Amino acid sequence: MDDVRVPISSDVDLVRARERGRTLAGELGFQQGDLTLVATAISELARNIVRYARRGEIVLHPIEDGGVPGIVIIARDEGPGIIDVNRAMEQGYSTSGGLGMGLPGVRRIMDKFEIVSEIGRGTVVTVTKWKR
Ligand SMILES: Nc1ncnc2c1ncn2[C@@H]1O[C@H](COP(=O)(O)OP(=O)(O)OP(=O)(O)O)[C@@H](O)[C@H]1O
Ligand SMILES: [Mg+2]
């Protein structure tokens, strides 16, 4: 299966990315509840792109390990970057008056979570979910 690449610069793009992710995970055989978790993770990551970086992209990458399918979600932007990534991963930390639940929530509901951010360069969040 091919990668799906969704440019993100508005809430409409966010909805599109979420639906593409749900469809792809469905094609991979994910359970209903996990489709919602995948869609939620994409939603939160894309929302952060729109809010903090204005634009970026979501890449959906199907993988497989020993016959078990998975999905890698890459959220990439060339925005301002995150000053303190450790703080950004704490529940309740927000620079925008938000709930500060997005990133810690995504980490909790995915199997693997990586974030690389550089001030003035941008942010890349890479998360993986395996089919159960
Ligand atoms: N792509 C990004 N570029 C720059 N800063 C980011 C990005 N994503 C997150 N951040 C920073 O990390 C903080 C925490 O993000 P998180 O998604 O957890 O919370 P939030 O967006 O503030 O609130 P919520 O997601 O609960 O509405 C943000 O307030 C922001 O400062
Ligand atoms: Mg957020």
CA of 69 to the centre of ligand 1 (A): 29
Query: Which atom of ligand 1 is closest in space to residue 99's alpha carbon?
Result: 26
- Tell me the mean pLDDT in the region 99-109: 98
Residue 94 has pLDDT above 90, yes or no: yes
Residue 131 has pLDDT above 90, yes or no: yes
Residue 129 has pLDDT above 90, yes or no: yes
**Range(s) of the domain holding residue 17:** 4-130
Confidence at residue 1, expressed as pLDDT on a 0 to 100 scale? 85
- Tell me the mean pLDDT in the region 114-123: 98
- Averaged pLDDT score across all residues of the chain: 98
Q: Which residues, 6+ apart, have CB-to-CB distance to 18 below 8 Å?
A: 39, 42, 43, 46
Let me know: does 102 contact 90? Beta carbons within 8 Å: no
Q: Assess whether the C-beta atom of 68 lies below 6 angstroms from ligand 1.
A: no
> Which residue owns the Cα nearest ligand 1 atom 9?
48
Into how many domains does the chain fold? 1
Q: Assess whether the C-beta atom of 63 lies below 6 angstroms from ligand 1.
A: no
Question: For position 14, which CATH number holds?
Answer: 3.30.565.10
- Tell me the mean pLDDT in the region 72-97: 97
Per-residue pLDDT tens over the stretch 55-82 = 999 999 999 999 999 999 999 999 999 9
Per-residue pLDDT tens over the stretch 11-66 = 999 999 999 999 999 999 999 999 999 999 999 999 999 999 999 999 999 999 99
CA of 65 to the centre of ligand 2 (A): 30
